[in-house]
Structure 1
Amino acid sequence: MDIGSFEALINIAELSWRPISHPSDVVAVGQRISAEILDVDPIREHVSLSLKALHEDPMRLLTGQIGQTIVGRVTKLVLFGAFVRIEEMESSFEGLVHNSELGEEQPDHPQLVVQVGDALPVKILNIDPVQRRITLSHPQAISAGQDDPGA
């Protein structure tokens, strides 16, 4: 980034609150942007900038959804559970449904219970904006749907 004789840099972690694969997911070469100055090093003629500092952390907004039941898509299976996208947008957040929260069937083998791409009802148990973690439960979402006669 050109700001006079100083070199300015936006670290990948400062581009967006959401996980990104590549800087081009957020910015393009030659694009004019506004950013917050994080640090100025006059000796090295270096400026650190942040794009995400200009926006409220969307994960903090999600904390109001703790206890809500939603349907998300399974995006990845791991040994300890399944990751589920909890918003409709492609760049949204993913939460973890631990094996113990996938249900009674084969708790140590999430691939036997769900597959990538499956729509899965989940209840948002916890959102930790500092650790950037979302904890989800499938059985609690199912029981919540059974308790609600309108569901």
Structure 2
Amino acid sequence: MVAVDQEEGRARMSMAATENPELWGFLASLQRGEILSGTVAAIERFGVFVKLDDGPDHPVYPGVGFITIPELSWRRFEAASDVVQVGQRVSCEFLQFDTWNGEARLSLRATQPDPSQAIADGIAVGQTLHGQVTKLVPFGAFVQVADGIEGLIHLRELTTTPVEAPEEVVQVGDEVSVVVIEFDRERRKLALSRRQVSPDVR
């Protein structure tokens, strides 16, 4: 049985309705945390298919392995192709057996050090950091304060004088000093303030 999931943008298959015991047996034998190697077979807007070195081919998809966008990298990126390329060799951690799609859900970022955790112990509320503005959004500006570590300066924290858009006070590429006002280690969210560095910032 093959059904189309319009929201996900790809065909979804109920493996229970197919006759592929070899694939089913292979996926069922995998253990969470196991490292699997393979080759990037296709890059889609919703994730990356990986053709695994071990195990059978998938009857529908380009590969038995699948990496969702959030599991590609710890760092922020615009497109999956910024992280991997078709034909690239990868080693990923097995997360779970997706019985609906008949695929191995994988994580590439789990095999890499989390940059935020590496510096988390050194970040404290009230600390002053220096960084570069990387992106402007309607509600504020993102600032990279360390390799792979970005925080958000909310619009209200950009200046002491209210502004309607971040472009009024900063531009991408600007070097700024910021104060840490909140750091949620578990959710990897860093909230910053520019106005608290110097009260006379306009």
Asked if these proteins are the same fold (TM beyond 0.5), I'd say yes
CA 97–36 in structure 1, closer or farther in 2 if over 3 Å, else same: same
* SS of aligned partner of 1:29: coil
TM-score by length of 1: 0.74
- The answer for the alignment partner of 1:33 in structure 2 is 90
Q: Which is helix-richer, 1 or 2?
A: 1
CA–CA distance in 2 between the matches of 1:134 and 1:105? 23
CA–CA distance in 2 between the matches of 1:4 and 1:53? 21
Cα offsets for 1:40-73 (capped at 9, x unmatched): 3578642111111123432233332224322212
Give yes or no for contact 2:156–2:162 (8 Å, CA) kept in 1: no
Identity of aligned pairs, percent? 42
User: Aligned pairs, how many?
Assistant: 140
Q: Which is strand-richer, 1 or 2?
A: 2
- The answer for the alignment partner of 1:5 in structure 2 is 56
Shift in Å, 1:135: 0.4
Give yes or no for contact 2:140–2:155 (8 Å, CA) kept in 1: yes
Using the TM superposition, name which of 112-121 and 101-110 deviates more: 101-110
Alignment RMSD, CA only? 2.6
- The answer for the alignment partner of 1:118 in structure 2 is 174
CA 142–31 in structure 1, closer or farther in 2 if over 3 Å, else same: same
CA–CA distance in 2 between the matches of 1:69 and 1:4? 51
Using the TM superposition, name which of 41-50 and 116-125 deviates more: 41-50
CA–CA distance in 1 between the matches of 2:131 and 2:110? 28
Give yes or no for contact 1:98–1:136 (8 Å, CA) kept in 2: yes
Asked if residue 69 in structure 1 is aligned to residue 128 in structure 2, the reply is: yes
TM-score by length of 2: 0.58
CA–CA distance in 2 between the matches of 1:123 and 1:57? 22
* SS of aligned partner of 1:24: helix
After TM superposition, what 4+ stretches of structure 1 lie above 6 angstroms from structure 2? none
Give yes or no for contact 2:115–2:149 (8 Å, CA) kept in 1: no
